[in-house]
Amino acid sequence: MEHSNVSLYDAKILQAAANCKRNEAIVVVGQPLTVKMSTGDLVWLEAPKLTPEDTIRLMTSITPNPNLEEFDSDGSTEFEASIHDDHRFRISIVTEGDGVRIHAFRIQEAR
């Protein structure tokens, strides 16, 4: 599985989930960033609704090249990403409409 270091700009989305102490961030066209609560409830953060271009830009900025190639051929990919070496996420990306759906599952925090 590939591993990526997330750019500072796009780390904001994953950092928001980490700061909220949530295990999952969800990026979907037409909704603001969504985090999943420990109860299973979804909470939309105070942010603009994401456009197809927003989701594709985020995908291309956090996804390693081999995974971008896999996405282009298969319409989906998975990999791990880190934010400032503090948090690790398993990222799952699938094609959805004109954009992409991104699920980022937190798998580890720095000790």
Q: How is 49-109 classified by DSSP, letter by letter?
A: PPPHHHHHHHHHHHS-HHHHHHHHHHSEEEEEEEETTTEEEEEEEEEETTEEEEEEEEEEE
User: Residue 43: pLDDT band by 50, 70, 90 thresholds?
Assistant: confident
Residue type for position 5: N
Tokens 């270091």 belong to residue: 5
Q: With 50 as the cut, is the pLDDT of residue 7 above it?
A: no
CA pair distance 106, 24, nearest whole angstrom: 6
Whether pTM exceeds 0.85: no
Q: Does residue 111 register a pLDDT over 90?
A: no
Between these two residues, 11 and 80, which has the higher pLDDT value?
80
Residue the block writes with tokens 């799952």: 92
Pairing of strands 3-5, 76-83: parallel
Mean pLDDT value of segment 2-25: 56
Tell me which of 47 and 59 has the higher pLDDT: 59
Confidence of residue 52 (pLDDT cuts 50, 70, 90): very high
